[in-house]
Chains A and B, each alone.
Chain A
Amino acid sequence: MMISPARWVEGLARRIGLSAALVLYSGLVLVLLATISAGVAWRIIEEHVQAAQNEHAHGEAQGAVRSLDVFLRDRMIALTGVAAKGDLIQAVVQPEVNRAWLGDQLHAQYILGTAPKLTLLDFEGRPLYTTRSRPRFDYPQRVWVQELLEGRRRDFIGASRSGDEWYWSLAAPILNHGYPEGVLVAEFPVDAAMFQGEMATLTESVHVAIDYDGQTILERGPVFEGPTVVQKHEALPLQVRLTIDPSALRMARGSLLRGFITRVGLAGLIILALSSWLAHRYLLRPLERSAHALEEAERHARAIFESTSDLLVLKDRDHRYRAANQAFIDFVGRDREEVLGALDTEILPSGCALDQREKSKQVLEEGHPSTSDDEVVDARGNRRWMSVNRMPVRDGDGRVSGVVCAYHDITHRKLQEESLLAAKEEADDLNAMLSESIEQAEALVVEADRANAAKSEFLANMSHEIRTPLNGVLGMADLLAETELDDQQQAYANAIYVSGQALLTLVNDILDFSKIEAGRLELEEIDLDPRRLVEEVVDILGPQAQEKSLRLRVEICDEVGPLYRGDPNRVRQILLNLTTNALKFTESGEVRIEMGPMEGGAGLKIEVTDTGIGIPQEAQARLFDSFTQADSSTTRRFGGTGLGLAISRRLVEAMGGEIGVISEEGRGSTFWFTLPLEGATPTENSSEDLSLRVGCQPAELDRPWNLLLVEDNPTNQMLALALLKKWGVEADLAKNGQEAVDMVQAKDYDAVLMDCQMPVLDGYAATRKIRSLGGAYRDLPIVALTANALAGDREKCLATGMDHYLAKPIRKEALCAVLSECLSRSVTIS
């Protein structure tokens, strides 16, 4: 009886278990593999052993020729040395001298440890003396002897037979003053002596023969039938033949193969054990588990299938029922056996059966689920409304193989539908109203935001408006102070001035703060020299520190770069704020400005440390809030708006940095801030040509200067005025272009330093207005001061009618150079 292999394996697996079958299968595969490998290995080993043996034989033969060559050359060199001995030369040219003496000379000659047979030939090749027992007399007939005597050859190496013995014959000429007068012949027995070194390792399984001029002069080892390697000497008619015992080859091959099979077998067993374990662990066990899980899943599916009161059926592509739950069986009132395999038409009443079949067909063809509310008749003839869900069933390839139909009884729901529809319309109306309300609320928020901005705008404008009359008040107070006043009046005028000044500071701060609040803070992105910045702050605040006998110290870390990109005016403002505060709250000791690189990124960290009153812990948190000082009493003691730190915080944050304070009450405070800034490479900008004229000092000039500074930024005002003051130059201040136009008409100035970006009237417009006044105003030197260090700005300034151009931050040397030039010109026009 024939059994198919697949069936047989299946049967076996069933009998002995899947695991065991797998092991058996792996074992069989391994045995097959090992057998094939052994067969292949046999061939490979045979080739390799053959090749190795050949290579070995070649190597040995080469070695033999080499050692033979060395053996002969060494002796030739030694013999040449002996032939050069004076007494042998004399013996050849004066053969008449005592023969016994010559004999002793020759007998005493050892060449490399052996005493060869030496024969001394005269100028005609006849033996003069020999240490041989029987002299040879055929030398004069030898061609090589004549060649040696005629100087045509410097040495000779050959082999010759004497009786049964073979000898190496080596010969060197005896030279007297370079001329051959005789020959010294040495004979070494051809024996094992030359097989020292490599050839000493030859085994029993090798046969070596040395041929000279076609004759075998030495043989060693047993004779074999086998492949022979021949190595010729490159110069002499000498060759070495080497034959390797083929049985050695067979033995080597056999032992290699045994070794191979043993190792492969062992490795195979290990692999078998390992793979069996792995297969059991990672293949069979999960397989068994998944089979079990499958059965369980089937049971669960069946339970779920039966758990619902809905009718569930599965139909195949032929519309035959393949599965149906008990609810369906009960609904149609048939036996399960009747249902399974039947068509719709055989189970359902004909009307609805055709309808169901049509809808199922659609799902089967299109592959999309469908839902419909259908009227179906049950076994008792009752008509029921059913909501029918039809889901396509797909096989492993994704093809639709059937359809599941779920019938949910909605007869009851159908009756309620009418009233539900009416309720839904009402709800839709409500929703529409709600949306409208939300839109209104959002509009209100936008309105509020705008209002807030408007408030800040208003505040900013108000501050500006307040500033104008306040400047008037201050100006008047100033003028008043210069009139003749008694002490009391003088004190009142001072009070007006000081109060006005305080009010102006407050207004400026509010203006600044409200600008920030109103989102009108614009940060510049220009070159920023950190060292110059600190220098400027020290320039401004130095006198203030001196007044209070405080030390103002600066420490700048070497790692701080030469130049960064940022807004130097704003940074200076922050630093001025912090330093002014520090000076303000310190009675004795020092204020220290430290600058270093920002930790964890490119940028700066600046610290201002004082030895002042310090700040209590609880006050530190709200220190940077608007209108806050550490203590409300502080305002009374030290003055100030309390806006400085808030503005500083806004500015630092706007630049992406952080600000903070470390303080101990009574010991002092350290205010610090960080600025993430990009480093920049210093480049020469367009104002550099003027700065070249370093060394000129405006103070050298014969009369005091009369300058007008037009600048809106209070810090820049302070800075420029401080600079000019340092050189002993007083300057009037105009806070915008319009003021400048008014002031140049009221007083004669030597020069005007004009900022470009200003409120009310900017620098360009102001310059045009001044120039349009005509007369001397056309030649009034106007120097542009601008933070816009961009290409084209210079041209724009000059085109407007300005005479010079200085980029901010103002550099002392550049300003100095420009002013010197302006002055020399203004002298000529006045």
Chain B
Amino acid sequence: MLAILSVICLGLVALGHPVRAALPVGEGDSVRIYVDADRTTTLPATRSIELGIRTALSEVGNRLGGRPVEIVSLDHRGNSGRSRRNLERYLADPRALVVYSGQHSPPILAHREWIHRNRVLLLDPWAAAGPITRTHQAENWIFRLSVDDSKAGFVLVDYAFDHRGLRNPALLLEDTGWGHSNAETLGRALLDRGVEAAGVRWFHWSLTEESARILLREIGATGADCIFLVANAPEAETIVRAMASLDLAERLPICSHWGLTGGRFAQSLPASLRARVDLTFLQTSYSFVDRPDDSFGQEVFARASRLEPETLRNPSDLSAPTGFIHAYDLTRILIAAVEAVGLEADMSTNRMRVREALENLKVPVRGLIKTYRSPFRPYDQEHPDAHEALSAEDLTMARYAADGVIHLEAWGK
């Protein structure tokens, strides 16, 4: 345990860090796992991801291929340029094996071709944009264990139409690559049911409540009966606030992508305010809170709470739980892959070997969401889901309870 050095670098700026020369790395040298995420506006999600990684690693004595593991945590603040600097740093580090992404899709989308070209082994436990795991290039270096927007849209539409009986949804999305990819999926899902969106509205980050109200009224004027929302926590918070401030007759149910769970949404909005809005959102189908009977899950949680004894006592203490669940499952898959191939001295070789191992994992890996059998396969354009560990069956909808804890909707899918 003591051998583990968990170095959290709150790198506000990546500038000034000397790029390390590729040094020969010995057997005893540590392996570094990078986390390039937004530690500013979506800190809870990022911490949840990191805790998931650490919990899974703790099960194997914090060693990978017999070498101690260090976690290097970098903050890109949602800025693509900054994320690029972080990834460059990862590439320059001769001990860096993989990099975990955070909640934001745009930084990955902005650099994904560069990532594949430069062989950045990127594990995505959260960012949901559809194109992230798809590429035209020969080698696909991005693996995801999370919601895939190309399926998320369908899940939202199924839920709204089949479970809630809603018929005339409007779309409200952030004006980013992520938002656009969701608009496309949602459009297609609606088209399958022969429906067209009542309206589509876009917003930028740092949206104000007044602007949000204007958008909501515009949507109300289209005659929509619900809103499909694609937003991260800060903007989702603003939009829900705005919705709560409208008259009851003007308020519409919101079926949201899960981006809003990445921040301090539940803590920032008082329960009384949240109670005024009918809000459901996408989640992967595992919950510590709703599955007290699952002994495996309870054991995992007990391990996690030993790592964070001060802040983590009950499952309800875990904010942005999906970050933890996905990162934990993904890290267990990574561990299995490393075990399958072992580690050599040269890290760029290790990255290649681990990527291949991930695509060809034969042993089943027990996770929280499910037991993964061949979670990833070699990618080509005929198999667009080859780097997706989850499928539509693993997705469901959820709500915040008054105490801010996420409960999955009882939805017979």
- A interface list, Cβ under 8 A from B: 84, 86-87, 89-90, 92-97, 122-124, 149-150, 175-177, 179, 181
Contact = CB atoms under 8 A, between A and B. Distances in A.
B234 A177 contact: yes
B80 A89 contact: no
A87 B205 CA distance: 8
Given A86-B206, A94-B106, A176-B205, A181 B176 contact: no
Given A90-B204, A96-B109, 11 more contacts: A86-B206, A89-B204, A93-B80, A93-B81, A122-B81, A123-B13, A124-B81, A149-B13, A176-B41, A176-B79, A179-B77
A192 B5 CA distance: 63
A92 B205 CA distance: 11
22 contacts: A86-B203, A86-B205, A87-B204, A89-B204, A90-B175, A90-B204, A92-B79, A94-B79, A94-B176, A95-B81, A96-B111, A97-B176, A97-B177, A124-B13, A124-B81, A175-B206, A176-B79, A176-B205, A177-B40, A179-B40, A179-B77, A181-B82
Interface in B285-317: none
Q: For B77, B203, B206, which residue has the most chain A Cβ atoms within 10 angstroms?
A: B206
Contacts of B110: 94-96
A175 B205 CA distance: 11
Contacts of A175: 206
B206 A176 contact: yes
Contacts of A86: 203-207, 211
A177 B206 contact: yes
B363 to A, nearest CB: 38
A181 B206 CA distance: 13
B52 interface: no
A122 B234 CA distance: 22
Contacts of A150: 13
A93 B78 contact: yes
A84 B211 CA distance: 14
Interface in B34-48: 40-41
A261 B111 CA distance: 87
Contacts of B80: 93-96
B96 to A, nearest CB: 22
B1 interface: no
Closest 10 pairs between A and B when the two form their complex, measured CB to CB: A86-B204, A96-B110, A93-B79, A90-B204, A94-B106, A177-B41, A122-B81, A94-B80, A181-B79, A89-B206
Nearest to A88: B204
B248 interface: no
B15 interface: yes
Contact of A89 (B13, B81, B85, B205): B205
> Chain B contact residues (Cβ within 8 angstroms of A): what range?
20 to 34
B260 to A, nearest CB: 15
Interface core residue of A90, A94, A95 (most chain B CB under 10 Å): A94
Nearest to B111: A96
A768 to B, nearest CB: 104
A123 B206 CA distance: 17
Nearest to B85: A124
B10 to A, nearest CB: 13
Interface in B317-353: none
Interface string B165-192: 0000000000111000000000000000
Given A86-B204, A89-B205, A93-B205, A176 B13 contact: no
A124 B205 contact: no
Contacts of B206: 84, 86, 89, 175-177
A208 to B, nearest CB: 43
Contacts of A94: 79-80, 106, 110, 176-177
A480 B178 CA distance: 145
A176 to B, nearest CB: 6
Given A123-B81, A177-B206, A90 B176 contact: yes
A141 to B, nearest CB: 13
Interface in B77-136: 77-82, 85, 106, 109-111
B77 A176 contact: yes
Contacts of B77: 93, 176, 179, 181
Nearest to A128: B81
A727 to B, nearest CB: 89
Contacts of A93: 77-81, 106, 205
A150 B106 CA distance: 23
Nearest to B15: A124
Contact of B82 (A84, A90, A123): A123
A480 to B, nearest CB: 117
Contacts of A97: 176-177
Contacts of B13: 123-124, 149-150
A177 B82 CA distance: 16
A94 B129 CA distance: 15
Contacts of B207: 86
Contacts of B82: 123, 181
Contacts of A122: 81
A86 B204 CA distance: 5
A193 to B, nearest CB: 32
A73 B177 CA distance: 37
Contacts of B81: 93, 95, 122-124
A86 B203 CA distance: 8
A80 to B, nearest CB: 14
Contacts of A179: 40, 77
B3 to A, nearest CB: 35
